[in-house]
Structure 1
Amino acid sequence: MRRERREAEFTEFYLSRRLPLRRTAYLVVRDWHTAEDLTQQSMVKLYAAWPRVRSDTADAYARRIVVNECLSHLRRRRDVPVEQLPDHHETGPEPVVLDVGAALDLLPARQRAVIALRFLDDLSVADVADALGVAEGTVKSQTAKALATLRTHLPALVLTEEHR
C-alpha cells in the first residue's frame, strides 16, 4: 500500500509540474525536443529519489534536477560542421522583430538558466541559487552579466518606430 501511495503522489506531482519544468528546460537548451527528453530524464532521476524527497521541497528539487540535466547536456553537446551553408534568399529588408529566443541565444548556458529561472519562472535570488546549487552572489553577478549582454544587443532585437 505504501508503494502505491508513493507512486500516486509522484504521478500527481509529475502531471502538475511537467509542463512548467519542460518550459524551463526549453529556455535553457533552446530546443523543444531536447527539452522534452531532458525533462523525462530528470523525472526518472526524481522518481528514483522520490522516497527521500520532502513534499515541501519537491518542486525546488525537481527544478534543480532539470536545470542540472540541461547544463550537463549543453556541456556535452558538440556542433556538427557541414560542408555547405543552406541557401539564403534576400527579398528585401524585413522588419526587425523582438526575438526573445535570439536574445537568450546570446547568453552562455548558466546565464540563460539564471535568466529563465529569475524572470520567466519568477523565482527569488535565493530560490535560483538553491536550484542551481550556487551562492546568491553568483546568481546576482550572472544576472547582471546576462542583462548587460542583452542591453548591448537590445537595439538589434527591438522593433524600430518605422517598422511598428
Structure 2
Amino acid sequence: MAIYGYARVSTTDQDLTLQREALMVAGCLVVREEKVTGTTRSGRSELRTLMEFLQPGDTLMVTRIDRLARSIGDLQDIVRELKAKGVALKATEQPIDTSTAAGKAFLDMLGVFAEFETNLRRERQLEGIAKAKAEGVYKGRKPKLDRATILALKAEGLGGSEIARRLKIGRTSVYRLLRSA
C-alpha cells in the first residue's frame, strides 16, 4: 500500500514545484509530472503510466481534482478505473477521498465545476476573438502557405518535394496547392 502523486500544469511555462512539494509532504513515494492540457486524457503519458502501475490498496494523490481531469467524463472514467483496481483517490487541498461516500460525492461536484470552468473559459475566448474580428484587430494565424512563392519555385522547375523542403512545409500541402492552381 503506497501513495503515488500526480502533478499537472497546462503549459510548459507553468511550474510544478508547489504541487510536487505538497504531494511529497502528503507522503507520496513517487510523483509523476506532466505539462499538458487536462481537457483530455490523450497525450498524458505520465497519467497512463501511473494508471497501469497502481496496485490494489495504493492511493493516487493530487493537489486538486482539476489537476487530474477537466471534464466530468474523464474524471468519472479515471475514478471508475481506479475503483476497479482497488485504488483510492485523494487530494491534498480538497476533502476528496474516494474510499468514503462523502468524499466521492464531493469529487463528483468538483468535477462538474471543473468542466463548467473550462467551458466558461472557452466561451470567453471565443467572445474575445469575435470582438477582435469585429474591430478588425484579429486576423487569425498567418497562413503557412505562400501561394506566390510556391508557384514561383515551381516555375523555376523545382518539384514538390524540393519546394516543401525549402519552405519547411508538408509535401502534400505543396501538391494540393499546385493542383488547385
| Normalised TM-score (structure 2) | 0.24
Comparing both structures, which one devotes a greater share of its residues to helix?
1
Larger Rg: 2
| Normalised TM-score (structure 1) | 0.26
Comparing both structures, which one devotes a greater share of its residues to strand?
2
Query: Looking at both structures, which has the greater relative contact order when contacts are Cα pairs under 8 Å and sequence separation is at least 6?
Result: 1
